[in-house]
Chains A and B, each alone.
Chain A
Amino acid sequence: MTDTAMYRVQTQTRASYSAGAVCIALIILFILLPTFASRGLIQDLFFIFTMLVLAQFWNLLAGYGGLVSVGQQAFVGMGAYAMFGGVILWGMDPVPAILLGGVAALIVAIPTAFFAFRLQGAYFAIGTWVIAEVMRLLVAQWKVLGGGTGTSLPRTATRQMWVTEWIQATFDVRGAAARDILTYWLALALVIATIAGIYWLLRTKRGLALAAVRDNVEAAKSVGVDAVRMKWLVYLVAAAGTGLTGALIYLQKLRISPDAAFSVTDWTAYVIFIVVIGGIGTIEGPILGVLIFFILQSLLADYGSWYLMVLGLIGIAIMLFAPRGIWGLITEKTGLQIFPVRRRLVIGAQSNKED
């Protein structure tokens, strides 16, 4: 019994306590933001939040699960189309229909994983891409939802959406602005839930198993980790989260088409660059990455394809010279961790660093 009193395992660092306080302050600020911020800022933040959620889930897949998918647009598209289907075909309110998006993505992820897990490594990547293409082509055949040209959410549905009336009355804004505020809050809730959820997952026993599988599958198996189950868990969680985000993004856009909703550039290439530039395999990386991504986009927006070229070149340079990304460089220099998931052994009064 004395042994247990001698040491304990902890993940918190002093920086993570103060970062926690800053996070709570930021969350309160973000919740109250619509009372004084311009509509443009709200829209920009919506974009940042949704891209950040997509990036966190891709990071969970590739950075922690070792599953490099180039087909996450499949779940953005399916989530968005399921939400549209719920509203147009079943007359659902768009807000609860977002949940339908998450469920639909989860359901299609099961057969997808069944096929994709038959492929290893790089072939898994292209395999997921093929499956996303199949879904795009199948959805383009769905004539009720506009086929290849796409469709819009009916006005009647968006006008009577949950909570918008209250927002209109409270903030004294028009319908469209009220919808922006609502989707902004939903995106904020989603981003908080995602980061908190992933942080929680990584600090549980499952998270430790996940890191073990990522670092060495054989070694992880030998100590009793069910590697296949971990892969399924991560894949399905990422699919459901990506589906929810897809539905939310298209609730804000109001118009959908198969080419846009299943776009590999918008929903996978951007997301990969965000994660890689920020720092793969960390929670902080995608946050930093999405900010850099947004700044670059604002600066280079007028230069069209140059923008993507610059993004691609930065991504390549990071992979060649700093594979842990910009956040990796910062941690290397300062040892700073805002969301620590690394277990350290604290013995008595002294603290020793252990991975």
Chain B
Amino acid sequence: MIWIDTIIQGVLLGGLYALFAAGLSLVFGIMRLVNLAHGDLIVFAAYLILLLVSLLGLSPFLAAIIAAPIMFCVGWALQRHVLNRVLGPDILPPLLVTFGLSVVLQNALLEVFSADSQRLPAGEIATASVQMGGLNLGVLPLLTFASAILVIVGLNQLFYRTELGRAFRATSDDAVTAGLMGIRPDRIFATATAIAMLVVTLAAIYLGMRANFDPNIGPARLIYAFEAVIIGGLGSLWGTLVGGIIIGVAQTVGAAINPEWQILAGHLAFLLVLLIKPRGLFPRAVD
């Protein structure tokens, strides 16, 4: 019974990792850009929510509703004024610029908020749980997992059912031809990053309510997100969820055996998948 509990906790944790990864996956899918600052942007959003919570006395969810449009604009501006300039056949410039951004964000947060760990006040739902078939499941992890599924359903709908989604797919397939059809790739890219930042804001709420965070934890979140994307296979959002779940389960099972092995077990699961299926479990895009 304890093992079933551990595995279910892992699955729910996987929801959080899928949330981290969804934004990364979206941006990569459309413009082949890997944002090395993705984890730091999640932490940045968490601090933004924290700031709104402590300044205005709001609940984290209400604060996030205010933070979301701010993050949307940050994403738009970042893509429009910085990242669009370095997109191209050479992968080095975008990689180095986002790496620089990661270092700048981390140290800016460190300077403003200090290295003390913080937490978003979750109130009652932090400890609330529901009985399900003899298992005690936390409301917060369930909510996280449900949010991940909602985000993936939403993004898939956006991609395959809307005009914007069609423009996304067209630009992803061939930016030049899409341009000939009256789509402006630079705006499409900016919109995509802006939407990714909305997902980042959502991820930040759960990151901040689930556990303590400090300015230095961004890169580790980036790595988990990246592992989930690779395990799932590039271009498949449901695959990303499966990837997140695999990392989550590996981590909780590893931690159950020896607390020191938690993170290591997640990484080893990733390497194992890479060994067996180098293109991930559900590959769609070819790169």
Contact = CB atoms under 8 A, between A and B. Distances in A.
Given A126-B226, A137-B267, A313 B100 contact: yes
A122 interface: yes
A130 B223 contact: yes
B227 interface: yes
A29 interface: no
B100 A120 contact: no
A276 B91 CA distance: 14
A115 B274 CA distance: 7
A115 B33 CA distance: 21
A125 B95 contact: yes
Bin the interface of chain A by size: 35 or more
Interface string A288-319: 00000000000000001110110111011001
B82 interface: yes
Contacts, number: 118
Contacts of A276: 96
B103 A308 contact: yes
A130 B271 CA distance: 9
A319 B107 contact: no
B36 A125 contact: yes
27 contacts: A115-B274, A118-B278, A119-B230, A122-B95, A123-B34, A123-B230, A127-B230, A130-B226, A130-B267, A130-B270, A133-B223, A137-B260, A137-B263, A264-B219, A272-B96, A272-B99, A273-B100, A276-B96, A305-B110, A308-B104, A309-B103, A309-B107, A309-B111, A312-B102, A315-B96, A319-B86, A320-B86
Given A129-B219, A265-B103, A312-B100, 12 more contacts: A68-B95, A115-B271, A121-B91, A122-B36, A123-B226, A125-B95, A305-B108, A306-B107, A308-B106, A315-B96, A319-B97, A320-B86
Interface of B: 33-34, 36, 82, 85-86, 91-97, 99-104, 106-108, 110-111, 219, 222-223, 226-227, 230, 260, 263-264, 267-268, 270-271, 274-275, 278, 287
Interface of A: 62, 66, 68, 70, 115, 118-123, 125-127, 129-131, 133-134, 137-138, 140-141, 148, 264-265, 269, 272-273, 276, 280, 304-306, 308-309, 311-313, 315-316, 319-320, 323
